[in-house]
Amino acid sequence: MNPFSSGTRLRDMIRAIRACKTAAEERAVVRKECASIRAAVSDNDQDYRHRNLAKLMFIHMLGYPTHFGQMECLKLIAAPGFPEKRIGYLGLMLLLDERQEVLMLVTNSLKHNMVDYLRCLVLSTCKKEFLIIEKLLSSSDRDLNHTNQYIVGLALCALGNICSAEMARDLAPEVERLLQFRDPNVRKKHCTNISAYTAQAALCSIRIVKKVPDLAENFVNPVVSLLKEKHHGVLLTGIQLCIDLCKLSEEALEYFRKKCTEGLVKVLKDVVNSPYAPEYDVGGIADPFLHIRLLRLLRVLGHGDADASDCMNDILAQVATKTESNKNAGNAILYECVETIMSIEDNSGLRVLAINILGRFLSNRDNNIRYVALNMLMKAVSVDDQAVQRHRVTILECVKDSDASIRKRALELVYLLVNESNVQPLTKELIDYLQVSDQDFKEDLTAKICSIVEKLSPDKIWYIDQMLKVLPQAGNYVKDEVWHALIVVITNASNLHGYTVRSLYKAIQTSGDQETLVRVAVWCIGEYGDMLVNNIGMLNVEEPITVTENDAVDVIQIAIKRHTLDLTTRAMCLIALLKLSSRFPSCSQRIKDIITQSKGSLLLELQQRSIEFDSIIEKHQNIRSALVERMPVLDEATYSGRRAGSMRATVSTSHGTALNLPNGVAKTAAAPLVDLLDLGAEEPAAPSSSGGNFLQDLLDVDTSSSSQSGTTQPQKSGTDVLLDLLSIGSPSPQNGSSAPDILSISKDNRTSVSALDSLSSAIGPSVQASFTAGDAPMMDLLAGFGPSPPAPPPKDNGPAYPPMVAFESSSLRIMFNLSKQPVSPQVTHIEAIFTNKSSDVYTDFIFQAAVPKFLQLHLEPASGNTLPGSGNGSITQKLQVTNTQHGKKSIVMRIRISYKLKGKDMLEEGQISNFPRDL
């Protein structure tokens, strides 16, 4: 026999497919088999139709298209024999779904009332198929009313799997009639349940009520009779239908509470006390599936109803005490019983019993059982906290479990259990485990410990002690806001300053690799170094230690060397050294030498601080002590409110990849140029107000500012007012960012500043920019003291503009030469000249620019991409800007310059807003 003829058996085709060694061979076999089946379909081969459809179902399960065999399903359904109908209905459920138009033929044939519609529908099909539909009309209606219960079961199973809303409305009366049928075998087959969205044997009536909820009331009365049946299969399906009806209809829920609660309790009692029955036994337990379904229905009926809950209390206690817990089936019943007890109305005795069962689950070796027990205990904490507290020791052991999911869930449960009475022992256990915990788990564990300590600390000394235990063990996992809050607490505990600085000094000797610990220790040594050296503020629990002034300076010097790549830590170390130069006069010269080493730093912030602090130590000793006196007490309430506000704002802020620029400022990278430069808005944004802007608060004024041309270092919004008061001149527009708070420091290279630092960093660049802008007017004052050369005759080449400094940083200068043509006043021609101020050569030099929507920008190719050092050469590039709103709005431009310095990618950005207004 031809292996690919229609007479080939299914097993032969499967054997041929499994013998294929490659996917190409398999596709070839399937393709030949499908061709053979198509030929048999065209020849209307009735002898092997069922065999061909079985092959198609297997091919369909392999993922190949089988749509050409859908009509064969209908032909087999119309056949009189049970074997053909079985294959036909199976193919119908597998190859079709409720979205297929062919399914309408089945619906209409079942109802036998839309013959004309079917005739119109099949006009596009062949005459043979129409004859098949005629036969289907006369035979398929008999399937739901067939005397053979198995054929009725086939029809119900198919409808339960692929029934659509239209089919549900049409067939609901037939299904309702079958619910009331007396034959338990037919009813059992009808009530086989499946979800509306899965494709397995389903309870047809559940599918109907889910597709058309309005029909739910039609099934309320019939389902009551199902709950009185003795057959467990009928009970299971009837209970599930009852649960779904309760979810869909409040009226049905109230009806079942009144009519069925006592009967369900009796059924559950009979099942619990039933003798051994082999057909229902699972692991020595009588029908655990029926146990679980009954408990779920009782949970639905008892939730929110005290009378129904009282009715089921005794049987729930009986299930909880009599069910064996050494088998998986028994654990499933106990878990469902616990969930039912926790859901019904209050009964303290039952709830204690349920929580004790969960406590036993925690000692089980099965990770799944322990995990579900932890989940249920998290819900039980809000209901009966005291009962859960009895299992605190077992829960703490779960925190140390080897399974990561159990550790995390147990930690969340411990966090819920902590209160004022048990915070100290629980925190001690968690900190002890922190020493040996996995690195992957330390971050979550550290966050929970810090949150517990901050919220529930009984006093400040306990709070400081616990944080000083966490920082040496997991300081790198502590978030910024946590150690900020610790510093606020330290400043408010004046009687603990000496104790804290001595404890931190001891900790940093052994755990200097924990960066957060180093920051807190450096800050405290800078503030309270004299108390460290002189053992001031000793507590009874302390032992005196000997620390010299040089020892204190050594700690900070080691920190600077160890954390060379961290801007925040090094900046804090420089501030601490400046303070110690006043507190330790004998070490002033040594401190000056250490600070001087940062003058050559590539980071502009550290370079500027080093120069300023060196100048203060050397030339301004008369004001140094006043500048570096101790920080005032920081108000805890104000800080907590500001912290809460910043956390809410952080939720709505998008996070991008930070790019560290040469001057230490973090910029967001990997964004389109126009989006990155944020030039979509034509009006400047209003500056934000911050509590950290010390200068603005001091002057009690409301300042507004725009962006300075070519500025890559953030400027302070109070600078303009200060320069006006000092009559220095008209400063360049500044960035609208406010001066940061001393505690507003982040790990990604944001600088740590104090009030003095804010003032100095705000004035320095602005004053320099102001005098640079004023150089030309100063020279004009001497114009009348010498003869001036005769002016050449004027030419009509449009207005003349002097060269302007568009951008200038410590390493790069950009000059713009502007020109216009009289015939096109809205067009501005710009020649950009790039000069390298450093001694290094810049390679891969690229200049980019973006303008608002009312401007049009055209860039010509640059004269080169290599920029020599020390101003020995330059690169030129021409730009053309068209101002569509000439005379109304001025030109504004954001620029980006990228280049490579010794193989390292560098990036500088700025905004140019000092164009002449008539451009």
Structural domains of the chain ordered from first start = 249-345 (no CATH), 646-783 (no CATH), 804-912 (2.60.40.1230)
Q: Kind of pairing, strands 281-282 and 893-901?
A: unpaired
Give yes or no for a contact between 581 and 619, defined as CB atoms under 8 angstroms apart.
no
Count CB atoms within 10 A of the CB of residue 732: 25
Count CB atoms within 10 A of the CB of residue 881: 21
pLDDT tens, residue by residue, 769-780 = 333 333 433 333
Q: Is 622 exposed, middle or buried (0-12, 13-18, 19+ CB in 10 A)?
A: exposed
For residue 829, what are the β-bridge partners?
Answer: 819, 880
Give yes or no for a contact between 709 and 890, defined as CB atoms under 8 angstroms apart.
no
Q: Distance between CA atoms of 395 and 413, rounded to whole angstroms? A: 8
Count CB atoms within 10 A of the CB of residue 45: 15
Count CB atoms within 10 A of the CB of residue 279: 7
pLDDT tens, residue by residue, 436-447 = 888 889 899 999
Which is more confidently placed, 889 or 108?
889
Q: Is residue 724 over pLDDT 80?
A: no
Q: What is the pLDDT of residue 753?
A: 35
Based on DSSP, count helices (H) and strands (E) in the chain, helices before strands.
Answer: 40, 12
Mean per-residue pLDDT over the chain, rounded: 76
Q: Distance between CA atoms of 95 and 61, rounded to whole angstroms? A: 9
pLDDT tens, residue by residue, 153-193 = 777 777 777 777 877 787 778 777 777 754 444 444 444 43
DSSP state of 68: G
Place of tokens 């002034």: 549
Give yes or no for a contact between 102 and 71, defined as CB atoms under 8 angstroms apart.
yes
Rg (Cα) of the chain, in Å, rounded?
41
Please choose, from the candidates 913, 907, 914, 909, the residue with its C-alpha nearest in 3D space to the C-alpha of residue 712.
909
For residue 873, which amino acid is it?
G
Q: Distance between CA atoms of 810 and 908, rounded to whole angstroms? A: 11
Q: Is residue 664 over pLDDT 90?
A: no
Taking phi over 0 as left and psi of -120 to 50 as alpha, with beta for the rest, 615 belongs to alpha
pLDDT tens, residue by residue, 380-417 = 998 888 999 999 999 999 999 999 999 999 999 999 99
658 SS3 class: strand
For residue 905, what are the β-bridge partners?
Answer: 900
Query: φ, ψ for residue 786 (rounded to 5)?
Result: -150, 160
Structure-block tokens of residue 831: 């020649």
The answer to which of 5-19, 547-561, 900-914 has the lowest mean pLDDT is 5-19
Query: φ, ψ for residue 75 (rounded to 5)?
Result: -65, -40
Q: What is the pLDDT of residue 373?
A: 94
Give the mean model confidence (pLDDT) for residues 201-227.
80
pLDDT tens, residue by residue, 258-278 = 989 999 999 999 998 888 778
Structure-block tokens of residue 834: 């790039």
Give the mean model confidence (pLDDT) for residues 342-346.
87
